[in-house]
Amino acid sequence: MQKKYDKLLLGFIIGLLIPLIVFAIAIYIRYKSSPQMQYLGIKYLITFTPKFLSLSVCANLLPFYIFLKTNRMASVRGVLTATFSLALFVLILFIIV
């Protein structure tokens, strides 16, 4: 019998949402009082996006270990799939930018 909250899709969604929330918080904290954002705008933000996003992917360790300790392997696979998807996205951003 499958445990409650042991779904691949749930793990994938959590694996995408947590790094994006951490990314938004990091961008807000870093640039909340920065006057450079007014002058440089989007180009300034794009150059630092891959760096912040690659650091925020590390936040997936928390749901990964929670699902692993509670023996929810389908959710663990979803978190890993999301992590590798974000890592591929960050690699593409590093190549483009």
Tens digit of pLDDT at every position of the chain (97 positions): 677 878 999 999 999 999 999 988 887 887 777 665 555 566 666 777 788 888 889 999 999 999 999 999 999 999 999 999 999 998 888 888 7
Positive or negative, the CA dihedral 40, 41, 42, 48 is positive
For the chain, give every domain's residue range. Answer: 8-96
Separation CA 97–CA 62 (nearest Å): 29
pTM for the model: 0.82
